[in-house]
Amino acid sequence: MTIAIVTGVFFSTMALGVPIAFCLGLASLAGLFTLDNPMFLRLVPQMVFQGMSMFSLMAIPFFILAGEIMNKSQITQVLIRFANVLVGHIRGALAHVNIVSSIFFAGITGAAVADTAALGTILIPAMTKEKYEEDFSAAVTISSSIIGPIIPPSIVMVIYGVTMKESIAALFASGFVPGLLIGLALMAVSYVFARKRGYGRRERAGLREIALEAKNALVGLMIPIIILGGILTGVFTPTEAAAVAVVYGIVTGMFFFRTLKWSDFPLMLKRTAITSSVVLLIIGSANIMGWLLAYQRIPEMLAEAFLSVSDNPYLLLLLMNVLLLIVGMFMEISASIVLLAPILAPIAQSAGIHPLHFALIMLVNLNIGLITPPLGQCIFTVCGITRLKMEQVVKATLPFLLVELAVLLLLTYVPALTLWVPRMLGYVQ
């Protein structure tokens, strides 16, 4: 009875367009009212606060602010120029530049929507000016944007680490190979389209030009080096590393590039506060839902249901992939992690699947949801930039989506691809 009411309220409010944090909160409250003990309602403020009151979560606003500072400092343009001299000589040059820029940008913001907005506003007009179809340009932009939360640093990895008490440094280490594999796969698809449609390329850059652009880009690329180097060597916690990244961004933006002004900070801080509050409110509301599901023994029942189908790890992973892909189409990624990770991760572990391996499978799955309708936040972002209809963008994205699903299956059934770097760094025995 309780679960039926919770499910009904959740999907009804979501269908009405209510923000996901309030969908979770209202559904949880409706479920608590059905319980026989009214004292449970007094736990609501405590559970919301408890969900948000974690030191590691402080990294989220710092990472968001670091991304805002990098954009305002015009480091994005510097990274794009560097990507251009590296891969611009390949047929379909600007498509490859778009993808490689996403890989570079991943080390700065760790957020897919930010990647879509920052690179899309620059590269989509540039691509259409060079006679690339606008829907193809949009598809490349949103498909490559999911690399952002996979290659560290990553906001969703911080949320997963806090939720599941996993090492955030180990999660960061496990994201390198999957992110690069997705980037290479997207470049392969882009090359096929470029040959078919006759897209051009620039002349191969000389060593002097590459060295010049590398020198300029190094200032921006030092951000992920500082963040990851500090975390992986144990010098910084993720939160401290994010704060250091903000300080570094301010110094380089104001004194090196001289594009950042004090007058820019009110707007950047406002946008950071809004974005951070949305994420933290989702986490707080999802904490109530998580408690309610645990009280109703839903995780145990779902575990029994999965294991009753089969205890074969390969089949379980396939079923979980299907479930997560469907969830990613309808639910915001932070809420999905907080709700589903405590349920699915123990099932995977009981089948002998390494926790880090499962974490990356889940994160890649849910990030693919960012480019699939009906939720598809990256799709709506790029539609706002281009004025294209959603159907056009979705149709153009399908080839890239299929190759990302192929990479997902490869990551699912070849755990060494995920665990190689963490094992090399000593996080996995």
pLDDT digits (tens, 9 = 90+) for 396-410: 999 999 999 999 999
H or E element: which one contains 341? helix 333-350
- Please check whether residue 286 is in contact with residue 339, taking contact to mean a CB–CB distance below 8 angstroms: yes
In angstroms, how far is the first alpha carbon of the chain from the final one? 45
Note the pTM of the prediction, 2 decimals.
0.86
pLDDT computed for residue 201 by the predictor: 87
388 vs 351: CA distance, rounded Å: 45
Distance of CA 320 to the CA centre of its chain: 19
* Closest among 191, 99, 219 to 148, alpha carbons compared: 99
Q: What is the pLDDT of residue 19?
A: 81
Torsion of CA 190, 191, 193, 199, to 10 degrees: 110
- For residue 56, the model assigns a pLDDT of 74
- Residue 293 DSSP one-character state: H
pLDDT of residue 110: 66
The pLDDT mean for the chain works out to: 86
Bond into 374 cis (ω within 30): yes
Give the number of C-alpha atoms closer than 13 A to the C-alpha of residue 58, restricted to the C-beta side. 12
Residue 398, exposed/middle/buried by CB under 10 A (0-12, 13-18, 19+)? exposed
pLDDT of res. 411: 95
H or E element at residue 383: helix 377-386
**Distance in angstroms (rounded) separating the CA atoms of residues 72 and 51:** 32
CA separation for the pair 212, 216 (Å, rounded): 7
Please give the pLDDT value at position 358.
95
Residue 380 identity:
F
How many CB atoms are located within 10 Å of the residue 135 CB? 20
pLDDT for res 134:
93
Q: How deeply is 376 buried, as exposed, middle or buried, from its count of CB atoms within 10 A (0-12, 13-18, 19+)?
A: buried
* Distance between CA atoms of residues 404 and 372, nearest Å: 12
SS3 148: coil
Ranges under pLDDT 50 in the chain: none
Give the alpha-carbon dihedral of 339, 344, 350, 354, to 10 degrees: -100
Euclidean distance between CA atoms 150 and 160, whole angstroms: 12
CA distance 370 to 389: 17
Contact 113, 381 (CB under 8 A): yes
For 200, the 3-state DSSP assignment is coil
**Residues sharing a CB contact under 8 Å with residue 249, sequence separation 6 or more, in sequence order:** 66, 69, 70, 73, 223
The pLDDT score that the predictor gives to residue 38 is 66
pLDDT at 160: 93
Apex CA 299: angle with CA 297 and CA 301, to 5°?
A: 70
